[in-house]
Amino acid sequence: MPEFKTPRGMRDFLPKEAAAMKYVEGITRELAMLYGFQEIITPIMESYELLTAKSGEEIRQRMYAFEDLGGRKMGLRPEFTASVARLMATSLRNKPKPIRLFCFGSLYRYDEPQLGRYREFWQSNFETIGSSRPETDVEIIALTNDLFQKVGLRNYWFKIGHVGIIRGILGMEGVKEEDQNRIMQLLDKNLWDDALAVAKALNVSEKCLATLKKVFGIKGEDSDKIIKEVKAAVKNYEKAVSAAENLEEILQLLRGSGVKFDMSIEAGFARGLEYYTGIVFEVSVPELDVSLAGGGRYDRLIELFGGEPTPAVGIAHGIDRITLSMEKQGIQPKIETGRQVMIIFIGDKLKSEALKIASILRSAGIPVELEVMGRAVARALQDADRRGIKHAIILGPKEMEKQEVILRDMTKREQHATKIQNLLKEIEAKRKT
Ligand code: HAM
């Protein structure tokens, strides 16, 4: 037999790593509850057409796509937003708005593996559907900030932009949407000169080229100053001005709400996904070259999937990258091992008694492990110690005649005989101390 390996770009999560991921997942679930998001579970594969409709060239090229046995072209989901938009255009179409949906699960992209970039990764994804008001955008940003605060990450910053600024300029110059998408893809990779060259080749005006060049260079932390600069730069392009005003409104509201974090506002910032129509954001930490979360407003996707015109805004948090950043910053996730009690029995005759006691304790919610290796007591205790078990219960024939067992405190290395009927009470009392 060959040596079987984990597929390239994919990982096995051993208990400690799985627990760290579950810890972050737990916090995202807590936030979903606090902000009123309800969980939905969608299929891991969807039709290729749905997944590629507005995802952008990069995701299209990196999809795990295949034909199923029925000859349908399918894809493993590279993100959740397309599935959510499909639901909004179908089953959830007539539900009262707003609708706040939370998804958690694995996604697949044929990315080139590197630190923090995998072919299978996990996201917590939040979408608020039905409102175009700036408070919706602010809440998505605030929720994300809460997540980073709660996991304890330091020095993270938000990059914030608005795709309506560049699209507004290009649209008013008559640049078709597909061509705009090409330019946005280049901006997503910070290839400013290439983006300008494409615009030039599309015969936009000199004024347009000069405006784009100026806009690409506008970035900074002072939101009032940045918005002022953008407005001045795009004054001849009405649509770009209203995009800048929308961004201004959101940033003012954010400031007024008291949510504080480091941010860089970048007028030329675009994201790879094509469906964004408004504000866009990403979160980064100094330890990683890749972003930890990303999202934005997409007001036309649901309509494109055959639904009613429905505004929406959302974000996805990369759980793998958040966990990795915590590790890099030396942040220990709070992990409850659950290792409380080990039951060790001497001689096969006491096997059923051991199982019975295990069952009584578990019914009372106490985690119990049974010694199943047939080890002698000393070896079994050594093993319990190594694995951080707090209490051992030893069943011996002499004690059992008196309906007693030995209860051993593994930390204090003390033990005493106790009646079986008192065992549960004693362990519960010890758990509380
Ligand atoms: P995205 O920026 O493509 O946005 O992905 C969001 C996050 O998923 C990234 O910031 C990153 O943390 C994680 N991620 C993406 N690719 C990988 C990878 N290869 N390995 C590890 N982590 C990765 C979206 O997916 C949008 N659907 C977000 C959204 C929701 N926009 C509106 N609503």
**pLDDT tens across 362-400, in order?**
999 999 999 999 999 999 999 999 999 999 999 999 999
251: CB partners within 8 A, 6+ apart = 160, 223, 227, 265
320 lines ligand 1 (CB under 6 A): yes
Distance 173 CA to ligand 1 centre (A): 31
Residue for token pair 């309800």:
38
* 151 in contact with ligand 1, CB cutoff 6 A: no
Geometric angle at alpha carbon 170, from 169 and 175, rounded to 5°: 155
pTM, two decimal places: 0.95
Give me the percent of the chain exceeding a pLDDT of 70: 100
Q: Which bin fits 41, alpha (ψ -120 to 50), beta or left (φ > 0)? A: beta
**120 alpha carbon to ligand 1 midpoint, in Å?**
12
Residue identifier of the C-alpha nearest atom 13 of ligand 1: 318
Q: Can you give the pLDDT at residue 57?
A: 83
Residue 347's pLDDT band (cuts 50, 70, 90): very high
Phi, psi of 270 (to 5 degrees): -130, 160
Q: How many CA atoms lie within 13 A of 145 on its CB side?
A: 18
Question: How many Cβ atoms from other residues are within 10 Å of residue 275's Cβ?
Answer: 22
Q: What is the pLDDT of residues 25-82, one digit of tens each?
A: 999 999 999 999 999 999 999 999 999 988 888 889 999 999 999 999 999 999 999 9
Ligand 1 centroid to Cα of residue 299, in Å, is 19
Amino acid at 238: E
CA of 31 to the centre of ligand 1 (A): 18
Assess whether the C-beta atom of 130 lies below 6 angstroms from ligand 1.
no
pLDDT of residue 430: 81
Nearest Cα to 343, choosing from 361, 369, 365, 367? 369
Burial 63-93, CB ≥16 within 10 A → b, else e:
bbbeeeeeeeebbbbbbbbbbbbbbbbeebe
* Closest ligand 1 atom to 84 CA: 33
Is the CB of 58 within 6 Å of ligand 1? Answer: no
Whether the CB of 333 sits within 6 Å of ligand 1: no
Structure tokens at 346: 């001497």
Indicate the SS3 state at residue 19: helix
For the beta carbon of residue 247, count every other beta carbon within 10 angstroms: 27
Which residues fall within 8 angstroms of residue 4, CB to CB, at 6 or more apart?
A: none
The reply to whether ligand 1 has any atom less than 6 angstroms from the CB of 125 is: yes
Judge whether residue 157 has pLDDT over 80.
yes
Q: How far apart are CA 165 and CA 176, in angstroms?
A: 15
**Whether the CB of 117 sits within 6 Å of ligand 1:** yes
Q: Ligand 1 pocket check: which of 114, 289, 290 to mutate, most ligand atoms within 8 Å of Cβ?
A: 290
Residue located nearest, by CA, to atom 25 of ligand 1: 79
Best residue for ligand 1 mutational test, from 83, 291, 301 (most atoms within 8 Å of Cβ): 291
Count of C-beta atoms within a 10 Å radius of residue 39: 12
Residue nearest to atom 14 of ligand 1 (CA): 318
User: What atom of ligand 1 comes closest to residue 81's alpha carbon?
Assistant: 27
